[in-house]
Homo-oligomer: A and B are copies of this chain.
Amino acid sequence: MIIQKIHTISMIGAGNIADHLARWFQSRGYVIESVWSRNFSNAQQLADRIKANAVKYLEELSKTSDLYLVCVSDDALIDVIGKLSESGLKNKLLAHTSGSTPIDIFGKSFNNFGCVYPLQTFTKGKPLNSEDIPIFISGNNDFTIQLLGNLANDLSPKCFVISDEQRMNIHLAAVFACNFTNHLYCISQNLLTESKVSFVLMHPLIRETFQKAIENNPCEVQTGPAKRNDRSIIRKHLDLLDEKRNLKEIYQLLSESILKQDEI
């Protein structure tokens, strides 16, 4: 590998993350050469949008790309990387975008590999506000780390080199702060709907909760019945949830967890 800087990229995968990343790369002057997807029409759609070349088989990927970025679901990674190892890319630079997969999944089939992990939730059709998205990179050698680091630096002012273990913990923390939080919003909305109240009325409360959490240490601004150890309210709420066993368990577990937090 004799490149000093990445200029051209091929995308392996054409889903939500591939779509957002490809546009992000283009906005910073990178050239997307080819796009592959298990579903060819997806590859074609993405390639059309970004004026790249859609390919049906991995062997048809451009041979001249400086980076081959694997943006497929974690479940598909092993399979896709296995097939890539037969595509003549042994000395090329490859990276995946998975939060919870070690980079040595590229194993002994490749000489230069790593990960580019942007910490964000990507919504189909919603343009990225990419200004302050942190990008975490990993690589199997100094050269790889430098190339991916330069790429990440072009995308965001917040780039960090991390270990597999750190990335996995960051992904786990993101599941709590993003995916689970959104699920609680969903539960809240369902409870309100039952009471014929619009979730829109909850917006100022959840905005304030978010604002407080970013202006402070969230652990220190906890409020609510569990924080006050207000047993009579907790009991009333559990009674209300008597016929919703799932929500009752979540209420109980999170309330106990808030109580325990103060014991630590």
Q: Which residue of B lies closest to A208 (CB)?
A: B121
Q: Are the CB atoms of A177 and B188 closer together than 8 Å?
A: yes
Q: Is A21 close to B, CB under 8 A?
A: no
Which residue of the partner chain, among B210, B221, B232, contacts A210 with CB atoms under 8 Å?
Answer: B210
Interface 9-residue window, one of A51-59, A60-68, A81-89, A222-230: A222-230
CA distance A27 to B223 in the complex (A): 25
Chain B residues with CB under 8 Å of A221's CB are 123, 182
Q: Which residue of B lies closest to A264 (CB)?
A: B190
Chain B residues with CB under 8 Å of A225's CB are 74, 100, 175, 179
Chain B residues with CB under 8 Å of A121's CB are 205, 208-209, 212, 223
Q: Which residue of B lies closest to A218 (CB)?
A: B185
Q: Are the CB atoms of B240 and A169 closer together than 8 Å?
A: yes
Q: Is A50 close to B, CB under 8 A?
A: no
Chain B residues with CB under 8 Å of A251's CB are 175-176, 180
Q: Are the CB atoms of B175 and A213 closer together than 8 Å?
A: no
Chain B residues with CB under 8 Å of A232's CB are 74-75
Interface 9-residue window, one of A35-43, A108-116, A140-148, A194-202: A194-202
Tally chain A residues at the interface, Cβ within 8 Å.
92
Q: Are the CB atoms of B233 and A182 closer together than 8 Å?
A: no
Taking CB atoms and an 8 Å cut-off, the chain A residues in 160-195 that contact chain B are 160, 162, 165-166, 168-192, 194-195
Identify whether the interface residues of A are mostly helix, strand, loop, or mixed.
helix
Q: Are the CB atoms of B177 and A205 closer together than 8 Å?
A: yes
Q: Are the CB atoms of B178 and A181 closer together than 8 Å?
A: no
Q: Are the CB atoms of B100 and A204 closer together than 8 Å?
A: no
A126 to chain B, nearest CB (A): 8
Taking CB atoms and an 8 Å cut-off, the chain A residues in 232-264 that contact chain B are 232-233, 236-237, 240-241, 246, 249-251, 253-254, 256-258, 260-261
Q: Are the CB atoms of B173 and A219 closer together than 8 Å?
A: no
A168 to chain B, nearest CB (A): 6
User: What is A's interface to B at a CB cutoff of 8 Å?
Assistant: 73-75, 100, 119-123, 126, 129, 132-134, 158, 160, 162, 165-166, 168-192, 194-197, 199, 201-210, 212-214, 217-219, 221-228, 230-233, 236-237, 240-241, 246, 249-251, 253-254, 256-258, 260-261
A-B contact pairs, 16 of them (CB 8 A): A75-B232, A119-B202, A121-B223, A162-B197, A165-B195, A172-B191, A173-B191, A173-B197, A182-B222, A182-B223, A186-B219, A187-B257, A190-B219, A206-B210, A246-B256, A250-B257
